[in-house]
Amino acid sequence: MAQSPESNTDSADGAYAKSWDTLGALIAQGKSFSGRERNCVFLNLGGKEVSFACASGAVHLDHADDSRAVIPVDWDGDGDLDLWYSNRSAPRVRFMRNDMVSGNAWLALQLEGRTSNRDAIGARAELTLTAADGTKRTLWRRVKAGDGFLSQAPKTLHFGFRAEEKVERLVIRWPAPGVDEDIVPVPDAGRLYKLTQAAAAHPVELKLLALAAGAATLPAEKPEVRAVLANRLPVPKLEYLDLQGHVKSLEGAQPQPLLVLFWGSWCPVCTAEMHEMVKRATELSGVRILALAVDTAKPEPEKSAISDVRAGLSGRGWKFDAGFASQATVRALAMLEARALYPERPLALPSAYLIGTDGKLAFIYHGRAGVEQLVKDAALAAQTPADPEAAAFPFSGRSAKKLFPLTVAGQAQTLRDAGYFVDARALLEQSLPNSGAGGWRLIADLEESAGRWDAALAAWKKALAFAPDDSATLLAVSAAMWKSGEHKEATAHMQRAALLNKDAADFQNQVGKVWQALGEHAKARDAFTTSLAAAPENAEVVFNRAVACQFTGATAEAIAGYESVLKLNPQLLDAASNLAWLLATAKDVSLRQPDKALALAQQLAKATAGQNPAVLDNLAAAQASTGDLKAAAQTAQQALALARATGEASLLPEIARHLEAYKAQRPWVE
């Protein structure tokens, strides 16, 4: 886990935010997080010094339930507080009856306000007790509505005390200011009273409930999953191999609901499921079934797998479509599943995906789905339910506010993030112009990533029409304009963005980044400088400015910048890396600090476990600057090998040039 930044901005590499993501991913993958913890009870030992004993296990209140909230209440009317727990785990509510009390006395009150609020919330009851030896004490309780965590205990006030203590006085301080009431005659112990403001107290008949002991029977958790999607997801083009090894593809609307079934020839549950499908094929006439063997989807498919699958299918009398899943087939459906469902688990076999006639994923199954269920679901998948949520949710209910349908932009984002640019674009185009600014922004982004600058600019402008006051969109438009040579308009848009954005420091940082992306480093530097004038301690901006200085040849300033970044956040590897490079290779000899460069580069290499080619290239330069050209050449060789292995081809020519210099007994100079 990355450390939290000390200020209210994340480190420039977003490490802190990433660590949250990592944590979330681990939980989605099924890890526990402070799990199996047992609930606690602390017993008040009484007396002058506040002291409690931990008694959880001794009193059987130590369930490992991932409990959330707790409510004390005398449920069975025997004069002591029982406990309700709400839990994350099963059962989601648990009731624990108090059988522990013996010999002590009690008194309970229900208050009702008149001039005070009717519930008497805020009223304080003070109960004065006298012990046999004449010592007195006053206990108090306040009527509350909501405390603890996400919970409300009943408004009944419960007092416990020693049997030898006599109730001497009961005062109610009603929430209406200055209204205190002495309750006369004082109530007896062992009863529940209803007290209405300025009226006589009267006891409430309490029914003693004889509750049988009995924990809940919990249903066995089955591994089979059937998920019904209210937000059906457009399925991108699905490619697979047919049994002859020809590439086939599926796309868009289907004449019948389509069940894509992933199975493995070695998987007995798959066999059972498919056997049942064959046996009851007539019932399944309303659905097209495509069984895709995943045997060949392994990174290195075994040759025997294909013949195994063919033999397996004919042996089973398989009457439906069949073929082989490629990694891309699995990935496409897994990507949709990842959007729909929270858990991130390895693919279970069998898994099946039921796609509606509209070409959208409607049901997901892991483990056996069962023919009966499939027949029912296929009928649903052939139509679009009038109320998709009611059709998808497991129990009846109602919505107070419209729930959160997945927007087209959201769906497109899912496709785009998984690399399905064409599908994302097609989906957005279909729904335009209804997808609003978000949709156009996505399109613009798609176009930019494809290098189609004019199309991107057009899309940004459309986005801007939907959100004319969004400074981020204005900035994006101005960047795209600049790229297209419309410098004047770009400047105008940027000025408008500045007017709309109140946080000058943040805005100028954004502007600087735009210039940097456009290769206008002097302008970038000015913007970062302005940002820092407003908020000098921002490590990210200091870093950005140092980068701009480096680009514009202001090496001394760049060095100073990186040094101050590292003071603000010593964990910014990129600052350290750039600094090491400059200290080793600065053209101006007076700026070079070979020893410091070497120390930094070594730390970096250690921090990245020697697995980063750019860092090793840095280290080589530092070694060379100290005169150790032999070591430099060795390190550069390692960097080259590593860059090849990790596929960072863009680094190769550069490192190779550096290596040549070291071999020629020359350190590298920028």
List the one residue out of 52, 178, 65, 64 whose CA is nearest residue 115. 178
Restricting to residues 4-63, name those near another protein by CB under 8 A: 4-10, 12-46, 48-62
Regarding 187 and contact with another protein (CB under 8 A), the answer is: no
**In this structure, what token pair is assigned to residue 392?**
């998808």
Nearer to another protein, 30 or 245 (CB): 30
Q: Which of 159, 240, 324, 662 binds another protein (CB under 8 A)?
A: 159
Eight-class DSSP state of 282: G
Alpha-carbon distance of 295 to 304, in angstroms, equals 9
CB 596 within 8 A of CB 627: no
Eight-class DSSP state of 437: H
Restricting to residues 599-628, name those near another protein by CB under 8 A: 603-604, 606-609, 612, 614-615, 617-618
Site stretch for another protein (CB under 8 A), options 241-249, 308-316, 360-368, 623-631? 360-368
Restricting to residues 534-553, name those near another protein by CB under 8 A: 540, 543-544, 547, 550-551
Nearer to another protein, 141 or 663 (CB): 141
Regarding 122 and contact with another protein (CB under 8 A), the answer is: yes
**In this structure, what token pair is assigned to residue 389?**
């949520």
CB 422 within 8 A of CB 443: no
The helix (run of H) or strand (run of E) holding residue 612 is: none
Regarding 84 and contact with another protein (CB under 8 A), the answer is: yes
- Name the 3-class secondary structure at 441: helix
Restricting to residues 282-311, name those near another protein by CB under 8 A: 294, 297-299
Restricting to residues 211-250, name those near another protein by CB under 8 A: 211-219, 221-227, 229-231
Interstrand relation of 288-293 and 67-73 (parallel, antiparallel or unpaired): unpaired
Regarding 203 and contact with another protein (CB under 8 A), the answer is: no
Regarding 115 and contact with another protein (CB under 8 A), the answer is: yes
Regarding 657 and contact with another protein (CB under 8 A), the answer is: no
Nearer to another protein, 54 or 379 (CB): 54
- What is the smallest separation between the CB atom of 611 and another protein, expressed in angstroms? 9
Q: Which of 330, 355, 408, 565 binds another protein (CB under 8 A)?
A: 330
Regarding 374 and contact with another protein (CB under 8 A), the answer is: no
Nearer to another protein, 90 or 319 (CB): 90
- What is the smallest separation between the CB atom of 100 and another protein, expressed in angstroms? 4
- What is the smallest separation between the CB atom of 285 and another protein, expressed in angstroms? 28
DSSP-assigned letters across all residues of 169-227: EEEEE-SSTT-EEE-SSPPPTT-EEEEETTS--EEEPPPPP-PPP-PPPPPPPPS-EEE
- Could you tell me the CA-to-CA distances from 5 to 13, 487, 507, 547 in Å, in that order? 11, 38, 21, 21
Q: Give Cβ neighbours of residue 239 (< 8 Å, ≥ 6 apart).
A: 247, 248, 249, 326, 328, 329
Nearer to another protein, 40 or 533 (CB): 40
Q: What angle do CA 598, 600, 605 make, to 5 degrees?
A: 90
Restricting to residues 430-469, name those near another protein by CB under 8 A: 438, 441-442, 444-445, 448
Regarding 386 and contact with another protein (CB under 8 A), the answer is: no
Angle between helices 539-551 and 521-534 (to 10 degrees): 150
Q: Which of 81, 455, 505, 631 binds another protein (CB under 8 A)?
A: 81
